[in-house]
Each structure stands twice: as C-alpha cells, then as structure tokens.
Amino acid sequence: MRVLALTILAIGTLSAAVPARAQTYDPDYPVCLHVVGRGSSYYECRYTSLAQCRAAASGRPAQCDVNPYFAATTYPAYPAPVGRHPRHHRHVY
C-alpha cells in the first residue's frame, strides 16, 4: 500500500511539473519582436535592426522592442572618449 501511494505521489509530482522558460531576451541581438497571440505572448530576439523587425511584424499581432539587455552585455557602461584628450588651461592671474 505504501509503494502504491508513493508511486501515485511521484507520478502526480512529475506530471504537475511545468518546464522552465528560457531567458526572454537574447543578448546577442539589439531588436526583439514581441508576438501576442491568443492567451500567450513571446519574444523573438533575432533582428539586427528595427526595419528588419518591422518587416517580420507586418501583418501579425506583434510589435518591435529594443532589447534592454543588448547594450549592457555588449558595450561598457561608460565608453572611453574618442579623439583628442580634453585641453587643460592654465589659470592666468
């Protein structure tokens, strides 16, 4: 009887487990397509420009979003200035 109860409990636990969702945004692409369907929505982050994403979204219940995780993982937070160094002026008394 105890084995039967443990077997039923194990089967119930395994059947109730929901697979974990992957990360919503792919940090390798700057633009994501947010597709909204009946009862579900998902992101497709595989576009390199807004124009490319808008072409894919045409005629679908979808919109293009900028990937918030692209710049944070690809570029430093404070990039080094490009060009000449700032000039230092002497104070004239």
Q: What is the pTM of this model?
A: 0.52
Q: Identify whether 35 is part of a domain.
A: yes
Q: Identify whether 14 is part of a domain.
A: no
Q: Identify whether 64 is part of a domain.
A: yes
Q: Identify whether 87 is part of a domain.
A: no
Q: What does the block give as tokens for 65?
A: 């979003």
Which residues lie below 8 Å from residue 80, measured CB to CB, with a gap of 6+?
none
pLDDT confidence of 63, banded at 50, 70, 90?
A: very high
On the question of pLDDT at 7 being above 90, the answer is no
* Cα 46 from Cα 57, distance rounded (Å): 12
Q: Average pLDDT over the chain, rounded to whole?
A: 77
Q: pLDDT tens digits for 12-30?
A: 665 655 555 556 788 888 9
Residue 33 and residue 57 in contact, taking contact as beta carbons nearer than 8 Å: yes
Count of structural domains within the chain = 1
Q: Identify whether 44 is part of a domain.
A: yes
Which strands make up the sheet holding 40-47, listed edge to edge?
A: 40-47, 31-37, 62-66
The alpha carbon of 75 is separated from its chain's Cα centroid by a whole number of angstroms, namely 16
